Chain A
Amino acid sequence: MSTGIGARVKRKEDKRFITGQGRYTDDVRVDNQAYAAFVRSPHAHAKVTSIDKSEAEAAEGVIAVLDGRQLTGDGIGNLICGWAVSSKDGSPMNMGPWSALATDRVRYVGDAVAVVIAETKQQARDAAELVAVEYEELPVVASSTAALEDGAVQVHDNAPGNIVFDWEIGDEAATDAALAGAAHVTEMRVVNNRLSPNPMEPRSAVAIYDSAEDHYTLYTTSQNPHVARLVLSAFYNVAPEHKLRVIAPDVGGGFGAKIYIYPEEITCLWASMKTGRSVKWTADRSEAFVTDAHGRDHVTHARMGFDANGKIVGFKVDTHANLGAYMSLFSSATPTYLYATLLSGQYDIQNIYGNVKGIYTNTVPVDAYRGAGRPEATFLVERTMETAAREMGMDPAELRRRNFIGSFPHQTPVIMTYDAGDFAGNLDMGQAAADVAGFPARKAEAASRGKLRGLGYSCYIEACGIAPSAAVGSLGAGVGLWESAEVRVNPVGTIEILTGSHSHGQGHETTFAQIVGERFGLPIENVSIVHGDTDKVQFGMGTYGSRSGAVGMSAIVKAMDKVEAKVKKIAAHVLEASEDDIVIEGGAVKVAGTDKQMLWHEVGLAAYTAHNLPAGMEPGLKETAFYDPVNFTFPAGCYIAEVEVDPETGVTKIIQFTAADDFGTVINPMIVEGQVHGGAAQGIGQAMLEGVVYDEDGQLLTGSYMDYCMPRADDVPFYRIEHNKTICPGNPLGMKGCGEAGAIGTPPAIINAITDAIGNNDLQMPATPLKVWTALQAAQKPMAAE
């Protein structure tokens, strides 16, 4: 059976996962281990007037009770935001200080004020109960709307009006003029509901300080251990990079929430040095709800103008993005460069203007969550397209077709240059698979049973393969977003791939081995993937933004190019042939057209014995590469949802769900489909079930699975998945990325289908039965009045 590119190879890593042998951070047990428990603010906004630690310090098993003044006193730096976004007047963003442990003021429920280190987890938690913190409550702003009101309390003194930045993109005057001349203008108010990421494995850290070497080791649940090390060293002053090793072992889901370096990791490292003990902390689910960065939370007003033929002439967008109480690591980029640069969707729109206000509130910090900005853009564009089609009496698919970009490369007015795509082909494929032609008959049949059927489209596009370093640098990024890889061919011919990408559910141990096996004609069992350890892997920017294929694998390809060149040189020398005649196939290195060959492992051995190498060649067979992408990649597709609403109860069932995706080259269709399934489940969660709710005092009301509704197996349908394929010209494998598509493309398809069924466009997520029923009643009111 083939295990190369395109083969449905079963995941190598699953054996250990499904037999309970995965090794996660919380499984790490080291000598001298103590446990941390954090004391957190129950108030959304308050001054900390005093902290009495005496009772906690005297409690059984307590090693230390540490607070923010001690932490800052030891020179531990404030948390940073890694992307500088400027306001439209050119001023830098107004970033307030964020200390890992609050010193004098808390700004959201869950803000940490102290940490207890004790012999056992239970003792740490019991003692945390005994830390007496006195608060003086302050007024609270719990939503972006409240934060912008006149006279609203300021979350940070240096962010007047709670505005972190007032950013713009595109040409406002040209867009206004285009809208003024439009034959039809569709106006939308869209709320992108706030989500809690909920990876299955909660965040965890084990910090180990070695006083003999003055060295730190941190095991942590990270999507990017090298970035964590860099930030912990360069900004938080925990330890210089060569004295800090970060290991992200098996990680059980990230979805963006594990990109960032949180107060808990910083505190555990510092506490380990302070106490001379290894310090472990693992969040419980309640803690995850109030500390993991939330996602989305946009309120948007938009106007899209069309000419008489349904051609879009302009799109103007005004978004309020709730950033929470502090600026998380990429919180500034998510609602700006990852959002408004996709406002063109799949459409040829000449005039676009976006204005985004980033707003402080007394809530958990908000940052990238699966899709990160692109789901918000897609939801807005695709809800607007569907609504516009209904207003103009057009078929929503036809309206899209009239506006699709058809030639590439295509420069949008909002930075992006789309390099390849087949948008009409995706729609054709989706419509055929969803049997859209048969929908009227199915709708009539449903009506005969008293049910309302609806069909909704979503033609999404995303910018993935993040990202060309110079380009993101020019936009304010504090890091380059290349990737690195090392290919180590051992003397026996087996191969270790060391990659800066990090797998936390994506199946890299399988797919990365597939491309190596294919290249050198080796069984994938002979290839192992090493990742997640800064002492092993030279460097890496990690996994997010659907970048591990397009960027991470490209780095591996580049390193394999170098290995192949050296292998050919060695073989040509040993076999006394011309390098140009050497071919690698089926585990052998051959002279083309002859029976002369060396087996793969013989070349490896020759490289390491170095008894007979070409003159001047260094021994060994190990190559490294850094790959910096030339452009973003642009996965795109067409999702079609068909739903049935029970008008008596508002209960909505997804009858069928079709995804026609163009991810470029697909290495392992089974894994890719799994990624789409998972993303679509999260998209369905956002569309119908999930929503973080704060009361006006900033109290989180959805702090457990009693109140925060995660999708379960019976909430999601069987998916029909089709793959279109246009090759991405920007990277050697032609890959675009697939990790976020499901979460990006799904919500508008679902809401478009429900609003089609109930005949009312005014429906916000999550579309719970109550909301659907209420919207349906509103739609039916005029009829009832007759």
Chain B
Amino acid sequence: MDMTGEYRISAPREVVWQALNSADALKACIPGCEELAKTSDTGFTATVVQKIGPVKARFNGEVQLENINAPESYTIRGEGKGGVAGFAKGGADVHLADDGGETVLTYKVNAQIGGKLAALGSRLIESTSKKLAAKFFENFQTYLNDGGAGRAS
């Protein structure tokens, strides 16, 4: 599945970039994220509970940041194992553009799902992904509005 999108975030690019590299920020904003821990400067481990169609699964996975070009762009790549439910993996090219003190974030996602997730949820993956992306950016904006650290508990 391929998906692209664009969001305008009311915060300066540098702030957005910092948040996008922060385990606390990502944990607070990724829908269903139960745990997210930094394992290196560019790596995280994560546990995310997600529901796609009738399949609910807890994904344990690793996330890597690649092609880092601060504070403008990176590629975020991850793979999550959902046990009996299957797996999800993919990457997103994320680009930040400064626009009058605000930031325009564009992304290009490529994702794959497998196992029961694909058998039951392939028709729903796109709509679910869009919903999750919208939710992420909504959380992200709120996180930044609240000053970040306040939400990062």
A701-B116 contact given A42-B86, A125-B84, CB 8 Å threshold = no
Whether A700 lies near B84 (C-beta < 8 A) is no
Which chain B positions have C-beta within 8 A of A704?
Answer: 54, 119-120
Specify the chain B residue showing the minimal Cβ separation from A704. Answer: B120
User: Is A707 touching B112 in the complex (CB atoms < 8 A)?
Assistant: no
| Inter-subunit contact B118/A703 (CB<8 Å) | yes
The CA-CA distance from A386 to B122 in the complex, in Å, is 38
Once bound together, how far apart are the Cα atoms of A697 and B122, in whole Å? Answer: 13
In the complex, chain A residues whose CB is within 8 Å of the CB of B87: 42-43
Distance between B62 CB and nearest chain A CB, rounded to angstroms: 12
Are B83 and A700 interface neighbours, CB within 8 A? no
Q: Cβ of A695 < 8 Å from any Cβ of B?
A: yes
8 Å CB interface, A694-749 against B = 695, 697, 699-704, 706-707
Q: How far, in angstroms, from A585 to B43 measured CA to CA in the complex?
A: 88
Which residues in window 611-629 of A have CB below 8 A to B? none
Q: Is A39 an interface residue (CB 8 A)?
A: yes
Q: A289 vs B83: C-alpha distance in the bound complex, in angstroms? A: 18
| A286 & B122 in contact (Cβ 8 Å cutoff) | no
- Do residues B84 and A290 form an inter-chain contact, with CB atoms below 8 A? no
Q: Specify the chain A residue showing the minimal Cβ separation from B115.
A: A42
Taking a contact as CB atoms under 8 Å apart, the answer to whether B118 and A286 are in contact is no
Chain B residue nearest in CB terms to A109: B115
Distance between Cα atoms of A699 and B120 in the complex (Å):
11
Identify whether the interface residues of A are mostly helix, strand, loop, or mixed: loop
Q: Which of A42, A129, A130 neighbours the largest number of chain B CB atoms within 10 Å of its CB?
A: A42
CA–CA, A490 and B13, complex, Å: 93
At the interface, is chain B mostly helix, strand, loop or mixed? Answer: mixed
A707 contacts B122, C-beta separation under 8 Å: yes
Q: For the complex, give the distance between the alpha carbons of A128 and B86 in Å.
A: 12
- The answer to whether B118 and A701 have CB atoms under 8 Å apart is yes
A40 interface residue per 8 A CB criterion: yes
Q: A737 → chain B, closest Cβ, in Å?
A: 35
Question: Which A residues touch B113, using CB under 8 A?
Answer: 699
Tell whether, in the assembled complex, residue B116 and residue A129 are in contact, meaning their CB atoms are under 8 Å apart: no
In the complex, B114 has a CB within 8 A of chain A: yes
Complex: A706 Cα to B116 Cα, angstroms:
13
Interface residues on B, range: 20 to 34
Q: Are A286 and B119 in contact (CB under 8 A)?
A: yes
A703 with B114, Cβ < 8 A, contacts A39-B84, A125-B84, A128-B84 known: no
Which residues from B are CB-within-8-Å of A701? Answer: 118-119, 122-123
- Which of A44, A125, A290, A699 is most buried by chain B, counting CB atoms within 10 A of its CB? A699
Chain A contacts for B84, CB-based, 8 A: 39-40, 125, 128-129
Tell whether A40 pairs with B83 under 8 Å between CB atoms, given A286-B120, A703-B120: no
- Please, which residue of chain A has its CB at the minimum distance from the CB of B122? A701
Q: Is the CB of A706 within 8 A of B120?
A: yes
CB nearest neighbor in A for B89: A137
The contact string, 1 if C-beta is below 8 Å from chain B, for chain A 679-703, is: 0000000000000000101011111
Nearest residue, chain A, Cβ from B55: A286
Which of under 10, 10 to 19, 20 to 34, or 35 or more describes the interface residues of A? 20 to 34
Residues of B within 8 A of A125 (CB): 84
- Take A700-B118, A703-B118, A704-B120 as given contacts and tell me if A129 and B112 are in contact as well, using a CB distance cutoff of 8 Å: no
Nearest A residue to B114 by beta-carbon distance? Answer: A42
CB contact list, B50-66 vs A, under 8 A: 53-54
A454 and B11 alpha carbons, distance in the complex (Å): 64
Q: A699 to B115: give the CA distance in the assembly, Å.
A: 7
- B27-58 interface mask toward A, CB cutoff 8 Å, 1 = contact, 0 = none? 00000000000000000000000000110000
Closest Cβ of chain A to B83, distance in Å, is 4
CB distance from A114 to the nearest CB of B (A): 11
CA distance A701 to B123 in the complex (A): 8
Q: Most A CB atoms within 10 A — which of B81, B85, B119?
A: B119
Complex CA distance for A188 and B116, rounded to whole angstroms: 36
For B122, what are the chain A residues with a Cβ–Cβ distance below 8 Å?
695, 699, 701, 707
A700–B119 contact, CB under 8 A? yes
- Give the nearest-CB partner of A708 in chain B: B119
Query: Which residues of A lie under 8 Å from residue B116 when comparing CB positions?
Result: 42, 286, 703
B83 touches A706 (CB 8 A): no
The CA-CA distance from A128 to B113 in the complex, in Å, is: 19
Within 8 A of A (CB), among B96-153: 112-120, 122-123
Verify B83–A703 contact, CB threshold 8 A: no
Q: Give the residues in chain B near A706, CB-CB below 8 Å.
A: 53, 120, 123
Point out which of A131, A290, A704 has the most chain B C-beta atoms below 10 A from its C-beta.
Answer: A704
The interface centre, meaning the residue of B112, B113, B115, B117 with most chain A CB atoms within 10 A of its CB, is B115
**In the bound complex, how far is the Cα of B60 from the Cα of A131, in angstroms?**
13
CA distance A703 to B115 in the complex (A): 10
What residues of B have a CB within 8 angstroms of the CB of A41 in the complex? 115
Give residues 17-32 of B contacting A (CB, 8 Å). Answer: none
A662–B82 Cα gap in the complex (Å)?
Answer: 54
Distance to closest chain A CB from B84 (angstroms): 5
* CB closest residue in chain B, given A44: B114
Alpha-carbon distance between A704 and B52 when the two chains are bound, in angstroms:
14
Interface string of A38-69 (1 = CB under 8 A from B): 01111110000000000000000000000000
Interchain CB contact under 8 A, B120 and A109: no
Residue of A nearest to B58 (CB): A129
Q: CA A40 – CA B114 in complex, angstroms?
A: 12
Which residues of A from 217 to 251 have beta carbons under 8 Å from B? none
What residues make up the interface of B, taking CB atoms closer than 8 Å to A? 53-54, 81-87, 112-120, 122-123
Q: A42-B116, A286-B119 are in contact. List 7 more A-B contacts (CB 8 A).
A: A42-B114, A131-B83, A699-B113, A703-B116, A703-B118, A704-B120, A707-B123
Can you offer 19 A-B residue contacts whose CB atoms are under 8 A? A42-B87, A42-B114, A42-B115, A42-B118, A43-B114, A109-B115, A109-B118, A125-B84, A128-B84, A129-B83, A129-B84, A286-B116, A290-B119, A701-B122, A703-B118, A704-B120, A706-B53, A707-B122, A707-B123
Top-7 shortest CB links A-B: A703-B119, A42-B115, A699-B118, A42-B86, A129-B83, A42-B114, A701-B122
